[in-house]
Structure 1
């Protein structure tokens, strides 16, 4: 059924502006009933960070920025889904156009800039998910204390998230990657983990993962890993969007 629907929808979506096609797809998935997914083969299960993933294929952050269809991701066959990146206050993101198709490579380039409707909207939208739910959190572009925005994300979504992703690696928010520098990263992780532990009695201990950039030198990567290990975070996500454009 899904395959037949996609065959019909694909030419229409590809005729639209890429971001408009994205929005139409989200709206359709939100509005339409989905068939029940086939149960995962038990051999596909993955145990990580104290969580069981029904299968290792997930819907990455960036598609469902506001958590509109997080509860349906399991019905689409995903083993996990990640809502966000979410910032405390609504944010328009970068000017359009900011999503570009690369048909010859089967890919896209995005320059969204953490466009989302904010914590309060996502909190109201999120429904119980049929698969593992991650919440990807970030900082508003104009925040004077960016670490405080991440702390706010932990506090806001502690009751909803199965795990948190700390996104300090998007190339589309000015100076965000400065949070990958050892001193800034150490302060950020200390505050985030303290917030996570402060709500653990009420909501359980939620794993915290750090999402890093692919454009790091070996020395920068070593420094980040050292801070992450010293702070005993649960894992790392490799990786965010590159800023390099190698030749074909």
Structure 2
């Protein structure tokens, strides 16, 4: 019955503006209408990531709960860990609406939000008061008009780091002009140095774009190793538009969802071949098979977001339980045993 109600709710939400629908979904979660029961787990699904103990390796990607408004309900929805944000030093409105578009035929979305958020002070107050049942992370961003974006990342890290179990440096959003320029080796090394100096003991992750050459991937892997980054999230949204359908396929912004799966998984496998830093696979994860494919390509954990638009939060438990079955079928006793077992298929 719950599944029927969830699907009816999703169908209703898809009839209205997607950003408005997302806001309503967050309100429903805060009202207690989401799934409960905490993270799905088993002896096979339990794993560690950057020193954190996870009940399962299925996480929520940043962007779903930008302003840390539904941490408690989300941590009850089956995830092994959740990431909120991105947060910037000062509040900012982001880009003009409309800025979120559904591509239903492709089970995808295009967004050009531009780091809209309430700012680190408001978000920090919510993090401090949050009742998170699973490891909690914050995605770090920079203000669009900042004269020193690298310094913004360190400022948000210093302010919010004490309230989370990990923080992600996000230099890979395509929706803030010239932000991706910070992925260059020299700029990235300087930025990460600033963040690492103020992190205390909080693990720091790096989120990268999928639209990188082999040399750029190698450069990022080298910088991440030198900076002693704790994990790399591969990947953010893409600017590619191959094979899309529907009226919104040409909208500017970052594309997420099913069309990103192969591109992001190839980047993940290339990274896994070049460094021993733990990797988190993101991009097109909408089923247990796809989560398993990311793990076999080299990911220690996965994250999802866009698939929830089409499958609802019950999808989280489905993926975790399905992943447990797939691991068992292939004779793996733990997630860690499966990491990278089929990396060569993606190279």
TM-score, normalised to structure 1, is 0.93
Q: Which of 218, 223, 230 is the matching residue for 1:222? A: 218
Correspondence 1:105 to 2:101? no
Counterpart for residue 149 of structure 1: 152
Q: Where does residue 8 of structure 2 map in the other structure?
A: 8
Question: 2:105 aligns to what SS in structure 1?
Answer: coil
Correspondence list, 1:58-97, <5 A: 58-97=59-98
What is the CA-CA distance between 1:164 and the residue it aligns to?
0.6
| In structure 2, C-alpha distance between the alignment counterparts of 1:5 and 1:42, rounded to whole Å | 31
The whole-number CA distance in structure 2 between the counterparts of 1:223 and 1:59 is 27
Distance 2:39 2:229 in 1: 34
Pairing 1:239–2:254 present: no
1:23 alignment partner, SS class: helix
C-alpha spacing 1:227/1:146, structure 2 compared with 1 (3 Å): same
> Equivalent of 1:182, from 176, 185, 204?
185
Displacement of 1:241 in angstroms is: 0.6
Q: Deviations over 1:106-130 (max 9, x none)?
A: 1211111101011111112220310
Cα deviation code 1:43-84 (max 9, x no counterpart): 211212111111111111011001111222221111111011
Task: Give how far 1:33 is off.
Answer: 5.8
Distance 1:246 1:212 in 2: 20
1:195 counterpart residue number = 198
Match of 2:47 in 1: 46
Q: Secondary structure at the match of 2:137?
A: strand
What RMSD, in angstroms, separates the aligned Cα atoms of the two structures?
A: 1.4
Structure 1: distance between partners of 2:162 and 2:196: 16
Matched, 1:134 2:130: no
> Per-residue CA shift, 1:168-206, capped at 9, x if unaligned?
00000000001101111011011100111xxx3xxxx11
Separation in 2, partners of 1:229, 1:111: 31
Query: 1:3 Cα deviation (Å)?
Result: 2.2
1:116 aligns with 2:117: yes
Shift of 1:39: 5.2
* Matched residues, number: 241
Which 5+ residue runs of structure 1 have no aligned equivalent? none
Contact between 1:73 and 1:131, CA under 8 Å: does it hold in 2?
no
> For residues 44 and 70 of structure 2, what CA distance do their matches in structure 1 show?
26
Does the aligned pair in 1 maintain the 2:167–2:205 contact within 8 Å?
yes
| TM-score under structure 2 length normalisation | 0.67
Partner residue in 1 for 2:202: 206
For 2:158 and 2:93, how far apart are their aligned partners in 1? 23
Q: Deviations over 1:214-234 (max 9, x none)?
A: 001111111111111111111
Quick one: distance in 2 between partners of 1:25 and 1:33? Answer: 9
Runs of 4+ in 1 over 6 A off after TM superposition: none
**Residue of structure 1 equivalent to 2:31:** 31
